[in-house]
Structure 1
Amino acid sequence: MDKKAQLIHKKALELGYEKCGIIPVEMMSGYEEKFHERTQKIPGSQPFYQGQERLLKFKEEYPWAKSIVILVKPYSKYEVPESLNGHIAKHYLMDTRVNESTTEFQNSILLEQYMQELGMRTAVNRKFGIVGVRWAALQAGLGIIRRNNFFYTESGSWIGLEAFLVDCEMELIEETKLKPCPPNCDRCMKACPTQSLCEAYAMNPLKCVSFLTTFGGRDLLNEPLAAEFGDWIYGCDICQDVCPMNHGTWGGTEKFPKLEELADVVTIENILNIDEEIYKEKIQPKFFYLAPDELWKWQVNVLNYMNNHFDQTYISAISEARNSKYPKVKEMAAAICLKREIS
């Protein structure tokens, strides 16, 4: 094993990463074929994947890159506030990619600095990734991709993947001992409320609840799948929650930095009353898939929840939302009032 690779691996584990692998950039060659398989299986998903094509072209932007350092950081040690559990996906609650107050973010900075101290040039996109991270992690032997399309290690799918490009030729590949999904297991597909998981190892992202409640779903009032969102207002964990391979993998005892102070704000009861400045200052930076001017999207999602779980206690909030300054919120509230005969 290359000495620098050993040093990076040792440092990564010291900093709390679960796993660290290193592959030559040439090992990403099969990713393009797999990428295009997605759109071939589900042609309607092409608009979604067009935005991800930059991951195929990283060598054009970084011609000096010779290796990829791929890392696993688990987040299952954190506790999910009861008021948010089942409403906001755990990955978004425990997102460390841009949250500078988290140990994980600071350790990412420290690891990059360490590689630079070893004389390496580095590049990273912490927010949206610089390469196809699941494929890179698969090639590095850090785990496997299961039938719900998520990457799994011994910690289940409750992990984040992070990749650095470096200008040093190295290789550090593990051999995973994880067993594949049983061929007859279809729990994730049966549980998917919108049939986004249309077959094993494939999905239609445009039908996914996570997509439709975050950066997609701009016209939820006319979205035929909106009635199938269940309890979710931002993201969805269903296909991971029902997976037998995730059984017993969530520890959930540590407090995630600054999450408790949001737990009483981003709730079903309070989102319709959030002040725009509070949203821009405290909520949007964490849940960055929605822009600073998209508080209305949160509120439409909550109105959709209230419509799907209609209760007399929601009448006042729905009725008041007809006076919102956001056109989409007003439209959604008015439509619910008409449907539920709220005067």
Structure 2
Amino acid sequence: MVSIAHKIKQKALELGYEKCGIISVEKLGGYKEKLEERIQKIPESGGFYQGQQRLVKFQEEFPWAKSVVVLAVPYCGYHIPKVVRGHIAKKYLLDTRIDENTKEYQNSTALEKYMNELGVKTATNRKFGVVGLRWAAMQAGLGLVRRNNFFYTESGSYVNIEAFLTDRDMELIDTTELPPCPQNCDRCIKACPTASLCEAYTMNPLKCVSFLTTFGGRDLTKDPLAAKLGDWIYGCDVCQDVCPMNHQKWIGNEEFPGLAELSDTLTVEHILRMDEQYYKERIQPKFFYLAPDELWKWQINALNYIDNVYEDKYRTLVLEACSSAYPKVRDMANTISQKHGLL
């Protein structure tokens, strides 16, 4: 007789997941220790990781949880339009967590429905995870974490991890034969634009380009790291793209729903001239790390891009931004104008 655990895994693979493993909640115990270790290495990151405490204490909200179904699905099959390539991180362009138009989101809801039909109670958090996802994926045998802190399967690091808590005692550990990072390889560390990745398996999240262009970076005109963000507007792919274990992993031959059309509005020109209604209706729901009232943050990032790669063709955009309704956008535009002699 096929066990419920095996039925769940079989269904997951049928739906297109690359990996599926199931572990007891007890196997998540080591996550707290790893979290504390990160804070000890970078003490100033304590506040940043405070929000992760909910992943340590998940049983307070879900006392019935007995096991975790952990899954990995690659996103390296999608094409990235040239206009946003190297400016907006692939993970965010191809975010399937809440986009109901994607097959990945639909497969996720289908798998949860299937488990419920089997009589299994489930809980998940598609946006931010219900448990420590990378740690859970390691314990479930789906792959490993490399020196750049990203989780890898046979598809490289371009994978999304999902997890469902269940009320069943189940365990079905997957296996992987992935080799460790090449001896003495430090390409990711050397390539990190802001030295956020300061040593193997260690990073300062407060210096990360992805943090500074999403949650942080509220005053880039005074931040010495702003110049090191280069031409990144939202997120960063550098440490993944230089990794030799990701070599030739990106396939990029499939169109992601709605991305081609949306990408044309994510150039610096369109961002700086974007109105709030369009931002709230089309941009913010997809790039939800910024709030509905934070169009100004996108525009700050776009201005920082212009400052870092300045050409005379951007002159009009900067001067227009000097009259922005957003004070911080005006301040940054004026700073750029003075720096490049536009006034």
Tell me which interval the TM-score lies in, with the shorter structure as reference length: over 0.9
Residue aligning to 1:80: 80
Please state how far the C-alpha of 1:272 moved relative to its aligned partner: 0.4
Q: Which residue number in structure 1 is paired with residue 16 of structure 2? A: 16
* Structure 2: 5+ residue stretches without partners: none
1:144 is the counterpart of 2:144:
yes
Question: What does the per-residue CA deviation read over 1:258-295, in whole Å, with 9 as the maximum and x for residues that have no partner?
Answer: 11111110112211011110110011000000011000
Give distance in 2, aligned partners of 1:135 and 1:14: 25
Does the Cα contact within 8 Å between 1:86 and 1:231 map onto a contact in 2? Answer: yes
Q: Does 1:126 align with 2:122?
A: no
User: Aligned Cα RMSD in Å?
Assistant: 0.9
The 3-state SS of whatever aligns with 2:98 is: coil
The code of the aligned residue for 1:336 comes to I
Q: What CA distance in whole angstroms lies between the structure 2 residues aligned with 1:99 and 1:43?
A: 36
CA apart distance, 1:52: 1.2
- Contact map agreement 1:144 1:153 (CA 8 A) in 2: yes
Counterpart in 2 of 1:313?
313
Q: Which residue of 2 aligns with 1:56?
A: 56
Partner of 2:193: 193
Deviation sequence 1:118-146 (CA, Å, 0-9, x none)? 11110000011000010000001100000
Give the counterpart letter for 1:61 in structure 2: E
SS at match of 1:85: coil
Residues 136, 68 of structure 1: alpha-carbon distance in 2 compared, 3 angstrom cutoff: same
1:282 is matched by which residue type in structure 2?
A: R
User: Would you say the 8 A contact 2:19–2:174 is kept in 1?
Assistant: no
- Please give the secondary structure, in 2, of the residue aligned with 1:73: strand
Q: How many residues align?
A: 343
Give matches, 1:156-171, under 5 Å.
Answer: 156-171=156-171
Secondary structure of residue in 2 paired with 1:164:
strand
**8 Å Cα contact 2:66/2:165 also seen in 1:** yes
The CA distance in 1 between the partners of 2:208 and 2:58, in whole Å, is 27
Structure 2 Cα separation of the partners of residues 52 and 334 of structure 1: 38
Aligned positions of 1:1-343 closer than 5 A = 3-343=3-343
Overall identity of the aligned pairs, in % = 66
Matches of 1:74 and 1:205, distance apart in 2: 24
Could you list the per-position Cα deviations for residues 134-162 of structure 1 after superposition, in whole angstroms to 9, with x for gaps in the alignment? Answer: 00000011000000000000000000000
Aligned with 1:23: secondary structure?
A: strand
Q: Does the 8 A contact of 2:58 with 2:130 survive in 1? A: yes
Contact 1:210 1:236 in 2 (8 A): yes
How big is the shift at 1:308? Answer: 0.6
Cα deviations across residues 151-200 of structure 1 (Å, max 9, x unaligned)? 00000000000000000000010221001102300000000010000000
The one-letter amino acid paired with 2:144 is I
Cα displacement (A) at 1:72: 0.3
Contact 1:2–1:171 (CA under 8 A) maintained in structure 2: no
Letter in 1 for 2:141: G
Q: Which amino acid aligns with 1:174?
A: D
Task: Quote the Cα distance in structure 1 between the aligned partners of 2:16 and 2:260.
Answer: 23
In 1, distance between residues paired with 2:216 and 2:73? 27
Question: How far apart, CA to CA, are the structure 2 residues paired with 1:173 and 1:223?
Answer: 45
Partner Cα distance (1:320, 1:273) in 2: 9
Task: State the distance in 2 between where 1:270 and 1:152 align.
Answer: 35
TM-score normalised per structure 2: 0.99
CA drift of 1:2 comes to 6.9
**3-state SS in 2 of match to 1:52:** helix
- Matched residue of 1:81: which SS? coil
- The residue identity in structure 1 corresponding to 2:101 is S
Note if contact 1:2-1:170 (Cα within 8 Å) is conserved in structure 2.
no
User: d(CA) in 1 for partners of 2:269 and 2:152?
Assistant: 34
Amino acid at match of 2:34: K
**Secondary structure, counterpart of 2:269 in structure 1:** coil
Partner Cα separation in structure 2 for residue 14 and residue 175 of structure 1: 18
Alignment TM-score, normalising by the size of structure 1: 0.99
The CA distance in 1 between the partners of 2:183 and 2:2, in whole Å, is 38
